[in-house]
Amino acid sequence: MLTPLVFSALATAAWVGAPVTVQSSASICRLVGGRSFPSYSVYYSLATPGGAMYYSAPGSSCPFAAVLSAIDAAWVAGVLTGRQVEQAQRVVAQAEALFSGAPTPPPAAPAPVCAACGEAADYFGECACAYVPMQVA
């Protein structure tokens, strides 16, 4: 379960559109039998006069699904572009991987560098010293 502060930070980080007011709620609901479950909700209110409000389905048990459903509601209304939705999905996916304990991918290996000229290989696998200018007679 994400704490309310962490959930609020996730909801804020996922929004990439026009300025909004973000309201998020993370709570624990207890049933009479003693069972409990987390409940997450997100509301994005546009910061314009009479601005519309886009919200997640109330009572979502997954914080990541709650954020994405609010983002999708804004996309359906035409407030966000497809590229902005993809960016939000990447932010949520990174957070989900971070909180799930998944191993981080190893850093990319540095590009090989030529010992003679110190340049990296080009698209053909060659460096600058491999090219010899042609002599015109």
pLDDT tens-digit map of 64-79: 998 998 898 888 888 8
Instruction: Report yes or no: 58 and 38 within 8 Å, Cβ to Cβ.
Output: no
3-state helix, strand, coil in the chain (%, to 5): 35, 20, 45
74: how many CB neighbours lie within 10 A of its CB?
23
22-52 per-position pLDDT tens digit:
888 888 877 777 788 888 888 888 776 666 7
Residue type, 113: V
The C-alpha atoms of residue 63 and residue 81 are separated, in whole angstroms, by 22
Tokens 């990541």 -> residue: 64
Residues 6+ apart with CB under 8 A from 14: 67, 68, 71, 88, 91, 92
H or E element, residue 26: strand 20-30
The C-alpha atoms of residue 93 and residue 89 are separated, in whole angstroms, by 6
By three-state DSSP, how is residue 27 classified? strand
Q: Which of 36-45, 55-64, 82-91 has the lowest mean pLDDT?
A: 55-64
